[in-house]
Every structure is written in structure tokens, then in C-alpha cells.
Amino acid sequence: MSKSIKLRNQFIDYFRARGHTHVHSAPVIPFEDPTLLFINAGMNQFKDVFLEQGSRPYTRAVDYQKCIRVSGKHNDLEEVGRSPNHHTFFEMLGNWSFGDYYKKESIEWAWDLLVNVLKIDPKRLYATVYKGDNQVTPDDEARNIWLELTGIKDDRVSYHDAKDNFWEMGEVGPCGPCTEIHYDLGAKACQKRHVDGHICKVNGDCGRIVELWNLVFIQYRRDASGKLHNLPRKHVDTGAGFERLLRVIEGVDSNYETSLFTPLISELEVISGVKYSSGDVGIPHRVAVDHVRTLSIALADGVLPSNDGRGYVMRRILRRAARYGREIGLENPYLYKLVEPLIEIMGSAYPELAERKDHIIGVIKSEEESFSRTLGRGLVLFGGITDKLHKEKGAVISGDDAFKLYDTYGFPLDLTELMARERNLTIDNERFNKLMEEQRFRARGEEKFAAIDDEMTVGLKSEFEGYNNDSIKTKVASVKQNNDRLELILEKTPFYAEAGGQIADHGRIQWENGALNVENVVSVGDRIIHVGQLVEGVLPKIDAEVIAIIDQNRRLAIKYNHTSTHLLHTALRKHLSKNTSQMGSLVAPDRLRFDFNHTEKLSSDMLFNIEDTVNEAIRHNYKVSTNEMEYKEAIKSGVIALFGEKYGEEVRVVQIGSDDEPYSRELCGGTHVDSTGQIGLFRIISESAVSAGVRRIEAVTGEYALKLTQNEKRKLNQIEDLLGSHGSDPVEKLSKTLEEKHSVEKENERLLMGWAKGVAVEMLSEANEMNNLRVASRLFTDVSVDRMKMIGDQIRIADSRVVALLAAPVSKGAGQLCCVVGDSLIVEKKLKAGDLVSKAARLAGGGGGGRPHMATAGTKSPEKLSIAVDGFEEIVKKTLEVE
RNA sequence: GGGGAAUUAGCUCAGUUGGGAGAGCGCUGGCUUUGCAAGCCAGAGGUCACCGGUUCGAGCCCGGUAUUCUCCA
């Protein structure tokens, strides 16, 4: 067993033996927390407990949590790869107490685990405690526990200020003092060992003594004024950085030299042929192995590269890795090759990596290819810029050009700089930075996510009882008026809050002297909030009796679509691959949308097959049943769990079909029909690409599917009427018609050409000689501009020493003119059709222009066209005189 | 969320102050060559993303929408 796997197990086992429940790492996409881009600390998944908004069936927990951090005060993306301990992905080991044990056990166990189980030298350990402030007394309690229960030396426990030893979740909210365990890496780790008079200190800045484990004692809540209040329960939240702990245990100089990374680095040495070094030469290696971990984990949890939000962070990380790869000669996609070795190392801790292997590799590879295209395009544009500079004998690439390359085309500035240096050019950095600052300024000043006001509703719980009820009598738990929006929380409710892709129920909540029209329902922690407009009467009081009624027809339509979504999921697995799984889902009353991982467009035959399979399952009229069970039990029995979803310990399993041979079993909290036959009909309406490796199917069911079918038939009837193909195959008839149309058009073109030639000959025969050229003109009655152009062409071809004007009214209020000039005259007499037609059109109260050999013009007074035609010879004559 | 770009033939793209929709590759047919690579000739293939506006006239100008790329947050 590798050391990393062993360390995780030792940690988990130690606390399990002490009554802790092993909780799975939450997905890196925060669930129900829009304020956070990624899970970035072990406590994220327990945040609702600390806020007293949610609860758990256990009071002691232990876990290892995957975390992603790309920006913020502790982590600058640019540091990753340069330093021995910065990462964009890392794991946190933690044990938790929710109102259970407190300081004594946490400290005692932490020490015991480090010293006696992990065999870390106690002589290298230090502890820190909080020194107190005007609201909090110094944490002598923790210090005494250290001294009495661990045997650590008195001079190894020190007091520190709030920056290091008072933990806060945010400006307001849960907080408390913490105690930290630090480790002395030894004199050679000191970065200031050559500085005179430097003394290495705990919480110093030389890197020799590092924090190993932080034990946080949450006992306060800070309000908006900064005042601390005691929490009803005290909690423990601990976090030990996994990579750093492993580094200490393995006794190596850098996180990147632990067994978590070395196999990846070796693989990269093979791929690139460049040997790793702990110095600068190894930066590309460190960047690549760090970033491939982040990308793989995020992709496995359902993040996809995109232009904003999480997806954009992924894209930037991938590009950073691709760019550093180029420094060690890796011009082609390479990062995806590290995914398999990564799964070797991390797959047992995070099975989702192995399950989504093909997806992860596919997406990374196609993103790398896409970046190559971006760079390639940038190179072309850069070439254009330098060519221009070369011609103008300039030596400075303007800030605007460099910025445009970067901002619009994504070409990295450092590459621009590098290539400029190679050509002895410089860049106007000042201007570039100014533009960059303007860009930042523009992006600021928009509102952030609306913070949820927690004060009113702390500790409230509402029960969802809507699986079998459309209406419920209950009491009001909380009322809030927000402009014209009313927010109600009830003790129990039949309303389904938007979750798992299923959108919220609509309906009505009624009380003695008023009613709420429910337009949206959201859940926050254990609370279900009904949002809508007060439609009658006055606000209800707390504890007022109400009747909550959902819109039954809407719910029924949602049920059809939700059960159909499960049937579709099964059908996709049957027809495409067992590994096909949901990447996103929308269940609305009028349609359903299902995103899944698949690399190619589905053929229309395939879509029909899938549609058939779903409809077979509908006709089979499978019974749909639900039951609650433990998460682990459910997973063991092979139930489909979706990524990007959070599941508690108790989960709900929706089963379609018999117990012995279920057609589908999925973890799902949504509402479903009793038997599949109720759905009636399932029709796919579209199939499209969402992003690399992900496709989307949209479908309708029940009444909506029937309406779709009827509309299609209606259209077909109309088509048959138009084609006159009743009784015969309209497709055959139409293709025959199109064929005929094609040959008629060809014939028409041929005839027109002959006709145009004839007219041209007529006009030429009537042309007048003057000044060694010929002038022809004619007023047509019913000829379009295109036809006049055809005739004009024939005239030019027949005689290169002719100018001609053609004119015709095209509608009641408009007339068109066309002028042509023979090639010889353009050269010899400098005649331009554009000028001539412009002058002629002016006689008719219009305007126009064109090219030397052919030009067109128009007028809104078609009755004046004859003036233009009659005056044309005069115009030509005068034009020649001027020359 | 806020900027900057792109969208033209199956693919890659060109298209000048607004005035006949083009090239290369690919495809089909013919010719040439001992064969291959290729060459020559001919042909098919277009809602210039979509909707609206300005104009006598819009691929081009203006406004909006969609999709994609890209930067910032």
C-alpha cells in the first residue's frame, strides 16, 4: 500500500475508533453555496451545521476533503510550481465535533495520533494558543491541556494574536479561538539562514517551522456590529494539510517529492525527456502535476471548461500547464497523458476519478488542442503586427496591439514579450497595464450574490411532505416581506423546492385573512422558503394556520418528466455505454433536458432507438417505488449516484421495475409517477453539443408529446396539400419537384441569356457613333435590375467601344438604372460607369454608383427615367469634354 | 456579471469609402500517366448565423438575438 493511502486510512481509522462517522469528501463544486467558487476548506460541507441551519444524524465526524484554491490571500496561482508547497488542489484531513467533545479530546487525540501512530518526532513539534483580546480571554485552558495531557515542554506552547489563532468564517458568523500544531523542518529549510541575526520562530516568515494541524474551537457568533455571542453548542473543526503531513512523514524536502507526486513527475520526465530538478528547471514539472490533479478532480465532479465562473478557472489552469509544458518542449497535448498515472495514485481514495476516466482524458485533451489553436492564431496575428512594424521601421509593439492580442485572442503576454525579444523589439508595457487596469475597472461595480439573511431563521426546520400530498394544513414558522416579494416558511409543506434539476412547484398558501401565490420555492439548509406575491388580504402571523396547495397539473407534468429522465438515463446507458452518466438535468413541466458525457453527435437512427427504448419502458408500465436507506448500502447495491450532488447519510432511492430485476435505480429526491404507463408518450425534440465531451437531449412527455406529434401531422398535411401528394409519398413528390425546379432554372437561365444577347444586339444596332465610340440607351418597361445587368454584360462583350444606359421602372415608386462601359473606353477615355450612372440618375431625381465597367442607380421617381435616358448622350459628351 | 472579437461553399479562410459572392483543399465527372504521387479540363456545392433598420442598392454601415472564442471579476 502506498504511503499516501496508508496515511488517509490511519487518520480515518484513528477517529472511527473514537466514535466518529467517516463522511465522504464533498464534491469540489459547492452545493447550495453560491458565494463559493470551489470547496476550499474541510469545513465547507459542514458550514450549515456551524450556522445552525442544518443538522446531521451524528455528532462526531472524520473525513478527508478535496479542496481547490486558485486565488485569495494564501494562494497566488503564479506561486504554484515556483514554491515547494503551493498547490491549486490539496486535501484536508479533519475531525469534527458538533456540540460533542471539545478542547480536551481534540488536543489529546491530535497529539496522540501524530506522535504515537504516525511516529512524528515530538521534539520537533510546537503548539500555539490564542492570547486573547478585549472580548475573549487568553486561551489558558488550551495551554493547560497541552501541558498536562501531552507532555509537551512549557516553552513549546506559545500565545499568538488573532491573525494566527482566532478563526473566523467571515466578517460575521461562527468563530472561535484555535490551537495549532507546528513542525520544525530543520535548519536547512530556513530561507533566511544566511541573514545575519535571523532567529527561526513559530509563525515566523522563514519557512522552517510550518503549521501541521489547526484545531478550531467554534463557540461564538460575531454579529454585524462586531460583537461576539455565545453559540448554543460548541463545535470542533480541525484541519491538517494532507500533502504537508505526508511530506513530514516521508521526510522529503518538498511536497512534490512525496509519493503523491513522484510517479507523475517520472512519467512527465519520460514524456518530455527533461529531467526533473527541485530548482527552476523543475517548474514546468511541478506546474503540470499540480494542475492535472486539479483538472481531473474538478472534471470528475462535473466542472467543464468554459468562459466564466468555475469553468473559466479550469481553462486558465489548463492553459497555464500547457504553456509551461512548452518550456520543456511539449508542443502537443501532453497533460491528458498524466491522468492515468494520477488515477493509479488517487483512484482508491476518489473512485469517481476511475469512473470518469475517459471523460477526464477526453476533455483535457480537447482543451489542450483548443489552446494550440488559440496560440496558432495568436502567432499569425503577432506576425501581422511585426510585419507592419518592420515596414514602418518601428521597434516598439504598441500597448494596444499587445493588449488586443491578450484580451481578444487570449495570446499570453509573456509569450508576446518572449517573441518580441527574439526580434529585438520591445513592448509598451505602460500602455498595456493602463488598458488592463481599465478592463478591471469596467468589470467591477456589479452586485455580488445576494447574501441570505440568516438572523431571523436560525434553527428553523421545515418538513417536506409533498411526495404523497398535494395539500397540507400547517402553521407559519416565519414571515418576511421583501418589497413586493413575500417569503414564507411553514412547519411542513407539500411544495417541492428546486433541487436535482427538478424545478419548484407553484401553487397557493391560504390563511384566514390572506393568500400567497407561490411562484418559487427554495431550500436553504433545513428550511424550505416559499416565495411569491401576496394576492389577498394581509400578512399571516407566526403560528397562523394555513392551507398549502400545490398546482396539481403542473406537478403531474413534472412527475412525467422526472420519471422519464430516469428512463432516458437507462436507455442511454443501454445504447451508448455503461459509463454514460448525467452531467446536468432540468425537469420542468413542459420539457426535460438531460446532459450526459458522450463525445460524438448521436445519429438520428440512434435517437429513434433511444426514443423507442424509453417508450417500451413506458408501455411496460413498470411500478415506480421509493425507499430510504443508508448511502453506503445504496451504493453497494449498485444504485446510480450523480456527481455534483450532495447526499446525506440517509438517501432516497427511486426504483423503476421489480426488486429482483429493476429497470432503473437512482438516488433521487424528486417526485415521480406511480407507474411508467402514466407518462403516455416520450418524444425527443433535440440533440446538441453543450461543450467538449458533453451532449444534451431535450424531450417532451405526456400531453406535450402528443401536441408535438399533432403539430407535426398538421404540418405534414399542409405540405401534402401544397404538393398535391395525397395518397403518394410526399418525399418522392418533393424531390421530383425540386429536380424539376432545378432543370427549369437551368433552362430559364439559358433562355434569358439568349434573350439578353438579342436585346444587346438590338441596342447596339440603334447606337449612335460619336467621338470614336458608340452610345446606346433604352427605357424598358418590365425588366429587373439583374436582367439589365445581363443585357449590359452582353453589350460589353459584343463591343468594347460602347457605353450604354438601361433603365426601367421596377415598382410604383421606384426605378432602376444600369450603365456599362466597354473595357477599351475605360482605358482610353477614362470613362467610368459609376460616374455616368450617377449623373444620369440625378436627372431622374435619384443617385447611384458602381464600378468602372458596370454600375447601378435608383430613383423614387420612375416617371423621370425617360429624361435620364434621353439625356444620356449629352452626359457622355460632356464627360468626354472635361477629360 | 462587464468588456473585446468571430460567424461567408463540406473544411480553412479572402472579400478594398456599400455597387457583379470568391480562393485553396475536399467532392463528382472527364483527360493524362505502366502504376503511384500528381497534373490538366469541366462540374456540383451558398438563407454571407438570425431578426430588424439606414440606403436607389447591404456580406460590408447601425441596432438587437443566438452560438463560439477571449480577457476581467
**Strand B close to A382 by CB, under 7 A:** no
Euclidean distance between CA atoms A246 and A8, whole angstroms: 10
| Cβ burial A204-231 (10 Å sphere, 16+ → b, else e) | eeeebbbbbbbbbbbbbbbeeeeeeeeb
- With bands split at pLDDT 50, 70 and 90, how would you rate the model's confidence at A501? confident
Question: Is the per-residue pLDDT at A502 higher than 70?
Answer: yes
Which tens digits make up the pLDDT trace of A56-74? Answer: 889 999 999 999 988 654 5
Phi-psi region of A525 (alpha: psi -120 to 50; beta: other; left: phi over 0): left
DSSP state of A504: P
C-alpha cell of residue A672 = 415521480
Nearest in space to A775 (alpha carbons), one of A880, A633, A661: A880
**Strand B close to A793 by CB, under 7 A:** yes
**Strand B close to A789 by CB, under 7 A:** yes
**Strand B close to A813 by CB, under 7 A:** no
Euclidean distance between CA atoms A191 and A570, whole angstroms: 58
Euclidean distance between CA atoms A94 and A65, whole angstroms: 8
DSSP state of A862: G
Stretch among A261-270, A360-369, A574-583, A628-637 having the lowest mean pLDDT: A628-637
- For A682, half-sphere exposure in the C-beta direction (CA atoms, 13 angstrom radius) is 32
Residues A562 and A587 sit within 8 Å (Cβ to Cβ): yes
Mean pLDDT of A49-54: 83
- For A558, half-sphere exposure in the C-beta direction (CA atoms, 13 angstrom radius) is 25
C-alpha cell of residue A798 = 459584343
Euclidean distance between CA atoms A28 and A67, whole angstroms: 6
- With bands split at pLDDT 50, 70 and 90, how would you rate the model's confidence at A548? very high
**Strand B close to A603 by CB, under 7 A:** no
**Strand B close to A433 by CB, under 7 A:** no
DSSP A705-732: HHHHHHHHHHHHHHHHHHHT-TTS-HHH
Give the contacts of A140 (CB within 8 A, at least 6 positions apart). A129
Euclidean distance between CA atoms A647 and A631, whole angstroms: 8
**Strand B close to A688 by CB, under 7 A:** no
- With bands split at pLDDT 50, 70 and 90, how would you rate the model's confidence at A598? confident
Strands (E), A185-257: 209-222, 228-241
Cα separations (Å) of A38 from A1, A320, A347, A536, A735? Answer: 30, 19, 21, 43, 55
Euclidean distance between CA atoms A482 and A491, whole angstroms: 21
**Strand B close to A384 by CB, under 7 A:** no
CA of A109 to C1' of B46 (A): 75
CA of A751 to C1' of B26 (A): 33
Question: Is the per-residue pLDDT at A446 higher than 50?
Answer: no
**Strand B close to A311 by CB, under 7 A:** no
- With bands split at pLDDT 50, 70 and 90, how would you rate the model's confidence at A386? confident
Residues A473 and A549 sit within 8 Å (Cβ to Cβ): no
Nearest nucleotide, C1' to the C-alpha of A810?
A: B56
Residue A250: predicted pLDDT = 96
Nearest in space to A463 (alpha carbons), one of A494, A438, A500, A439: A494
Nearest nucleotide, C1' to the C-alpha of A834?
A: B19
**Strand B close to A816 by CB, under 7 A:** yes
**Which is more confident, A690 or A586?**
A586
Mean pLDDT of A555-583: 89
Euclidean distance between CA atoms A82 and A68, whole angstroms: 18
**Strand B close to A446 by CB, under 7 A:** yes
DSSP A779-836: E-SS--HHHHHHHHHHHHHH-TTEEEEEEEEEETTEEEEEEEE-HHHHHHT---HHHH
Torsion, Cα of A582, A586, A588, A590 (10° steps): -80
Residue A646: predicted pLDDT = 54
Q: Which of residues 53-72 of A touch strand B (CB under 7 A)?
A: none
Question: Is the per-residue pLDDT at A381 higher than 50?
Answer: yes
Q: Which of residues 352-371 of A touch strand B (CB under 7 A)?
A: 370-371
Which tens digits make up the pLDDT trace of A405-430? Answer: 898 888 888 888 988 888 888 999 99
C-alpha cell of residue A164 = 494566527
Euclidean distance between CA atoms A328 and A466, whole angstroms: 60
In single-letter form, the type of residue at position A242 comes to F
C-alpha cell of residue A32 = 447550495
Q: Is A719 exposed, middle or buried (CB count within 10 Å of its CB: 0-12, 13-18, 19+)?
A: middle
**Strand B close to A845 by CB, under 7 A:** no
Mean pLDDT of A481-494: 85
Query: What does the angle CA A77 – CA A339 – CA A372 come to, to the nearest 5 degrees?
Result: 65
**Strand B close to A40 by CB, under 7 A:** no
Q: Is A482 exposed, middle or buried (CB count within 10 Å of its CB: 0-12, 13-18, 19+)?
A: exposed
- With bands split at pLDDT 50, 70 and 90, how would you rate the model's confidence at A614? very high
Residue A481: predicted pLDDT = 81
- With bands split at pLDDT 50, 70 and 90, how would you rate the model's confidence at A603? confident
**Strand B close to A690 by CB, under 7 A:** yes
The backbone torsions φ and ψ at residue A82, rounded to the nearest 5 degrees and listed phi first, read: -85, -35
Nearest nucleotide, C1' to the C-alpha of A792?
A: B20
Stretch among A2-16, A66-80, A364-378, A670-684 having the lowest mean pLDDT: A66-80
Euclidean distance between CA atoms A62 and A49, whole angstroms: 15
Nearest nucleotide, C1' to the C-alpha of A370?
A: B69
Residue A883: predicted pLDDT = 64
Euclidean distance between CA atoms A484 and A490, whole angstroms: 19
**Strand B close to A35 by CB, under 7 A:** no
Which tens digits make up the pLDDT trace of A705-730? Answer: 998 888 888 888 888 888 887 778 88
Mean pLDDT of A776-805: 89
DSSP bridge partners of A488? A479, A530
Which tens digits make up the pLDDT trace of A139-178? Answer: 999 999 999 999 899 999 999 999 999 998 877 888 999 9
CA of A736 to C1' of B26 (A): 28
Nearest nucleotide, C1' to the C-alpha of A815?
A: B56
Task: Please report which helix (H) or strand (E) contains residue A14, including its range.
Answer: helix A3-16
**Strand B close to A315 by CB, under 7 A:** yes
Rg of chain A over all Cα atoms, to the nearest angstrom: 38
Cβ neighbour number for residue A883 with a 10 Å cutoff: 7
**Strand B close to A374 by CB, under 7 A:** yes
Nucleotides of B under 7 A from a protein CB: 1-5, 13, 17-20, 45, 56-57, 68-73
What is the share, in percent, of chain A residues with pLDDT greater than 70? 95
Residue A498: predicted pLDDT = 82
**Strand B close to A307 by CB, under 7 A:** yes
Euclidean distance between CA atoms A445 and A621, whole angstroms: 55
Residue A453: predicted pLDDT = 41
Which tens digits make up the pLDDT trace of A314-337? Answer: 888 999 999 899 889 888 889 999
CA of A746 to C1' of B41 (A): 22
Residue A32: predicted pLDDT = 61
Mean pLDDT of A480-509: 86
Euclidean distance between CA atoms A42 and A235, whole angstroms: 14
C-alpha cell of residue A643 = 456527481
What is the share, in percent, of chain A residues with pLDDT greater than 90? 44
Cα separations (Å) of A167 from A33, A127, A203? Answer: 20, 16, 15
Phi-psi region of A619 (alpha: psi -120 to 50; beta: other; left: phi over 0): alpha
CA of A593 to C1' of B55 (A): 45
Euclidean distance between CA atoms A612 and A618, whole angstroms: 10
Nearest nucleotide, C1' to the C-alpha of A850?
A: B19
**Strand B close to A24 by CB, under 7 A:** no
The backbone torsions φ and ψ at residue A164, rounded to the nearest 5 degrees and listed phi first, read: -100, -30
CA of A412 to C1' of B58 (A): 37
DSSP bridge partners of A857? A817, A848
Residue A724: predicted pLDDT = 84
CA of A140 to C1' of B2 (A): 51
CA of A856 to C1' of B56 (A): 8
Euclidean distance between CA atoms A441 and A435, whole angstroms: 10
Nearest in space to A141 (alpha carbons), one of A113, A98, A115, A177: A177
Nearest nucleotide, C1' to the C-alpha of A411?
A: B70
Residue A642: predicted pLDDT = 62
SS3 state of residue A10: helix
CA of A746 to C1' of B44 (A): 13
DSSP state of A321: H
What's the mean per-residue pLDDT of chain A? 87
Residue A846: predicted pLDDT = 87
**Strand B close to A442 by CB, under 7 A:** yes
Give the contacts of A35 (CB within 8 A, at least 6 positions apart). A448, A449, A451
Query: What does the angle CA A132 – CA A74 – CA A646 come to, to the nearest 5 degrees?
Result: 95
**Strand B close to A440 by CB, under 7 A:** yes
Q: Highest mean pLDDT range out of A203-212, A611-620, A639-648?
A: A611-620
C-alpha cell of residue A538 = 394581509
ipTM over 0.85: no
Residue A72: predicted pLDDT = 55
SS3 state of residue A743: helix
Euclidean distance between CA atoms A525 and A505, whole angstroms: 18
SS3 state of residue A638: coil
Question: Is the per-residue pLDDT at A644 higher than 60?
Answer: no
**Strand B close to A772 by CB, under 7 A:** no
Cβ neighbour number for residue A665 with a 10 Å cutoff: 20
Residue A184: predicted pLDDT = 95
Question: Is the per-residue pLDDT at A852 higher than 50?
Answer: yes
CA of A381 to C1' of B5 (A): 13
Give the contacts of A204 (CB within 8 A, at least 6 positions apart). none
Residue A304: predicted pLDDT = 80
Residues A728 and A766 sit within 8 Å (Cβ to Cβ): no
Question: Is the per-residue pLDDT at A137 higher than 60?
Answer: yes
Residues A145 and A104 sit within 8 Å (Cβ to Cβ): yes
**Strand B close to A773 by CB, under 7 A:** no
**Strand B close to A855 by CB, under 7 A:** yes
Euclidean distance between CA atoms A859 and A624, whole angstroms: 73
Nearest in space to A458 (alpha carbons), one of A48, A37, A837: A48
